[in-house]
Amino acid sequence: MEEFNFVTDVRNVTSSGKIKQKEIIDDFKQKVADNQNNVCNHCGKRIVLVTEFNVDYILPISRGGENSIANSQALCNSCCEKKNSIDKYLQ
């Protein structure tokens, strides 16, 4: 199972010591999408740009899920919005 280490790589830190968050998040999103052959895990829509989808944890971290690519799925913006609406209703 591949963990995604946000700060252990020195390329993720600027010369002033700040973490390059946007680049790290985009890299993680791209790895998740690549792992799913660049399609939405729910509807199968083709994902081309990083801005076209969100990463969703299959088992939420708050419920014991891991911050790993294996526990992540790429959902197009539409499917992610629908899933979030259902999750809020179920809480």
Q: Which of 18-27, 36-45, 79-88 has the highest mean pLDDT?
A: 36-45
8-37 per-position pLDDT tens digit: 555 556 666 666 667 778 888 899 999 999
The pLDDT of residue 86: 66
Please enumerate in sequence order all residues whose Cβ is within 8 A of that of 69, keeping only pairs 6 or more positions apart, or say none.
1, 2, 4, 28, 31, 32, 35
* CB 43 within 8 Å of CB 83: no
What is the value of pTM for the model shown? 0.68
